[in-house]
A and B are shown apart, each in its own frame.
Chain A
């Protein structure tokens, strides 16, 4: 903007966007057919092959696109203004992710405060309860659905609490790694980045253990009614984001080992760290609204 006159880098052309579009197209087509095949219990499995093909194309695209960008960045082609573009772009991306989670939190609140209460006869719905779902009592967690499916609720003590502590600590270690990078203290950077990755992996392992416990011991499954639905969808999508964040952190770790990033040029690291803080904040909301309250 004002007083900036250095040239804004506009790449001449790039094959990666079209490769990415093909990848996403194959993933959408393949995933759609995989789901349909699962429902119809057909086992020829070509939908799955298309899906894996799409994922492979996407990986090639990500590898190629990021390689180009890293080379351009290391080659000094990027101006501070471009850095602003990337940072603003990442911030808006995280905002879109927040809105994605907001849809599922909205479903949780609606189901809990309105849908289940109304089925239980609240507001002016006495006849709904009497006629359609006689004997159903509104409760949360919904351990017995109007249709009669029963389950047990997941408590917040134990694994979920440990996971919260782990993820909150990892947010701090991620921040210390960032501070280390900004002070050009590579040792601090490497150490704390490594710790963050380990904490992320422990979180994912414990989350998996919790799912096993829920399925085996509590009978809490994805189809246990709206309590199980919101539980698995929220924790599941969060888990996917932690997985992605951990992969990003691992990539950053290898780049740090290769000597990438300087105290004032480290967009990729900063974006990863923002993303990590974002999944952490989502988890804290999740812990409060899905587990504790």
Chain B
């Protein structure tokens, strides 16, 4: 992709980072902010994960054992919100912060102070959201999709706190996205033209565009929920001429691009890792770029496939069905290119590559079940069953989360200056891989057999499947503690990492020493 002319090291004098708590509070450094994003995301991953453990413990047996149904609903709701807005999105923003300036040869993000503001909003937003769980009447219990009238007529008092915390999360995301997009458009080193950018940069450019386009729509949706609940409007109330289905249209106009926001950066990560460990350049670079663009455009035209059963004219159902199925074309291009990259490559299986390979296979399974759900008449059967839960966990856990793990292993040597413990890494991978499939694969069958989602109790026939799923769930949850151990061990010490620890890796980030100096590329590199 890109090669650097001349010796880089002489320009990267080792700057010492300021110390103490104010370093983190007042920082403008993209690496500091990236690290904070990543740690925050991991903490939220554990918080959201522990809620999933509550869900799986309750579902271990039929009947009500541990929690009452209202609390169960709060757990499913806040688990979803925490994982989407607290774990996956901040993890990608953290990776963008760390890697994009180094990948394009920029001294920092374009708007460094706003960068820090974007990050620090998040802990406050989640403190408010999580604190609302402890209020009288409980926290949000209407599902992460907060459909009206569950979120309006039937929601608890604390809904206003949910609304305002989503508002400030949105502000944070929009500012983060503006920062990324401006950095990519304006801060590239001389010679780093658009078609030389690493795919992680490309996918993030398009993700940032999606974020700026749809987070304000989410803000609009929560605002209407707020006024419907507290100020007597009737956007989602037929008595006043509104329509609860309108909520779903507005929400999914945000929600569908949002799922691509959570997967496009993954595509970029996988497109960096597979070539590195196959020791071959990426197959079909430009088709990858166009496929990403095509997915982004299509993502605005398919939102109603989430609501096939809620009442739409047949023509609309047909349109959204075919538009949805069309997305499998650019996605197929991507999967094909990854496989073709590996074709006759000289492959080794270090942990990042293992996670990347698992991503390709498991994400594709999630893609296929998505294709099944896209077919309107079939979706009538699958809608709101565990099949849907299985589908989106395949693309989000073994898709997005696995790619984040892959990225962490791939770039940990660059971040910390140490090699991570390969043995532990592989242990983490195999535990995660097996448990994630025990966890989510049987859910397909539970769903096909008719088990509805978001219920604390179920019919006896689903008992065996749920028990297996719960065991997989606990195992997956525990496996992530291995990851925490690997990361802490790697930060504290380990084998010294060279500037470029991966033989086949390409890109500007490998031209600076490991750990990357506090400031990199203060003078832009020359890219040929």
Contacts and interface: CB of A to CB of B under 8 A. Distances in A.
B partners with A: yes
B167 A103 contact: no
A96 B174 contact: yes
B22 A13 contact: yes
A84 B186 contact: yes
B238 A119 contact: yes
B191 to A, nearest CB: 7
Contacts of B221: 103
Interface in A217-276: 222-223, 225-229, 233
Contacts of A16: 113, 117
Q: How large, as a class, is the contact surface on chain B?
A: 35 or more
A17 interface: yes
B287 interface: no
Contacts of A110: 243, 246, 249
A166 to B, nearest CB: 27
B25 interface: yes
B384 interface: no
A46 to B, nearest CB: 14
Contacts of A106: 217, 249-250, 253
Contact of A88 (B114, B165, B182): B182
A149 B111 CA distance: 50
A7 B519 CA distance: 13
A118 B215 CA distance: 29
A24 interface: yes
A164 interface: no
A5 B191 CA distance: 13
Contacts of B132: 32
Most chain B beta-carbon neighbours within 10 Å: one of A2, A15, A35, A102: A35
A10 B108 contact: yes
Most chain A beta-carbon neighbours within 10 Å: one of B187, B213, B241: B241
Interface stretch (B89-97, B222-230, B368-376): B222-230
Contacts of B497: none
B212 A21 contact: no
Contact of A36 (B112, B160, B224, B233): B160
Contacts of B113: 11, 14, 16-17, 65
A100 to B, nearest CB: 4
A55 interface: no
Nearest to A24: B168
Contact of A96 (B127, B212, B239): B212
Contacts of A38: 230
Given A28-B125, A115-B246, 10 more contacts: A8-B106, A11-B112, A13-B23, A21-B121, A25-B121, A107-B220, A111-B235, A115-B238, A222-B227, A223-B240
29 contacts: A2-B191, A8-B107, A13-B28, A17-B26, A18-B116, A21-B120, A21-B121, A28-B128, A28-B161, A28-B168, A29-B161, A32-B128, A32-B163, A38-B230, A85-B186, A88-B181, A89-B178, A95-B212, A96-B178, A100-B217, A104-B220, A111-B242, A116-B241, A123-B313, A147-B234, A223-B233, A225-B242, A229-B227, A229-B235
